[in-house]
């Protein structure tokens, strides 16, 4: 099923899956290439510098790559006040009981999260097909787009994900996380990139990878 067949005009949770499948799923992250690419990042000007050429992803490019409808570009994400607790949001997304969710929430550092293995079990066995789709989309966001905690979906991710159906674009948040992480890795000379590596590489390939005619 292609994205257009969903018949949705907004960036819904189904579109998360379509975007991941069509843009990111087939891109393998070459650690050596990614490490080399990071060395060209200029944290002072927030751009890649290749000799005398400065290059940086644009909102329009990421909007196209992530298949985010242009109607949503101006509705950037900002954390709302009085948001539901992580427990309540997970209950709403998964359709599971308070007891089930509470037993699976973990604390990693100063953040709450839920292990991927618990979400994977729901994707395989949940009786509600729509909830399976929602849980799969949440997992993609937490593991691929915003991989803040390895093997887990972070509480902050659930807040953005919960607002996708309210016509809020994730592009600004993806940008901010990628730029922040690239700058941190470049200044330290090491570190783990906390962002969607596949999406950044898709952008990189679109500029430098020449397809055969």
pLDDT at residue 1 in the model: 37
Q: What residues contact residue 171 under an 8 Å CB cut-off, 6+ apart?
A: 59, 62, 63, 66, 68, 73, 76
Q: Which residue has the higher pLDDT, 181 or 65?
A: 181
For 75, counting Cβ atoms within 10 Å of its Cβ (0-12 exposed, 13-18 middle, 19+ buried), the class is middle
Answer for the pair 108, 156: CB distance below 8 angstroms, yes or no: no
Q: What residues contact residue 185 under an 8 Å CB cut-off, 6+ apart?
A: 38, 41, 191, 192, 193
Residue-wise pLDDT tens digits, 19-39: 666 667 778 888 888 888 889
For the entire predicted model, the pTM comes to 0.73
Residue-wise pLDDT tens digits, 100-156: 999 999 998 888 999 999 999 999 999 999 899 889 989 988 888 888 888 999 998
pLDDT at residue 165 in the model: 67
pLDDT at residue 126 in the model: 93
Query: How many Å apart are CA 58 and CA 119, to the nearest integer?
Result: 33
């Amino acid at each position: 099923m292609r994205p257009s067949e969903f018949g949705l005009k907004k960036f819904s949770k189904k579109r998360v899956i379509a975007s991941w499948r069509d843009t990111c799923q087939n891109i393998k992250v070459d650690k050596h290439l990614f490490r080399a690419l990071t060395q060209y990042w200029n944290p002072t000007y927030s751009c890649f510098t290749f000799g005398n050429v400065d290059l940086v992803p644009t909102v329009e490019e990421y909007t196209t790559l992530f298949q985010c409808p242009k109607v949503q570009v101006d509705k950037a994400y900002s954390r709302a006040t009085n948001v539901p607790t992580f427990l309540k949001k997970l209950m709403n997304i998964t359709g599971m009981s308070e007891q089930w969710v509470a037993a699976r929430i973990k604390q990693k550092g100063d953040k709450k999260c839920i292990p991927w293995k618990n979400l994977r079990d729901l994707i395989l066995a949940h009786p509600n097909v729509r909830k399976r789709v929602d849980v799969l989309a949440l997992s993609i966001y937490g593991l691929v787009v915003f991989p803040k905690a390895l093997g887990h979906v972070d509480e902050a991710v659930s807040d953005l994900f919960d607002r996708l159906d309210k016509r809020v674009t994730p592009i600004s948040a993806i940008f901010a996380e990628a730029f922040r992480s690239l700058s941190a890795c470049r200044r330290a000379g090491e570190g783990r990139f906390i962002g969607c590596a596949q999406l950044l590489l898709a952008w990189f390939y679109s500029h430098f990878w020449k397809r055969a005619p």
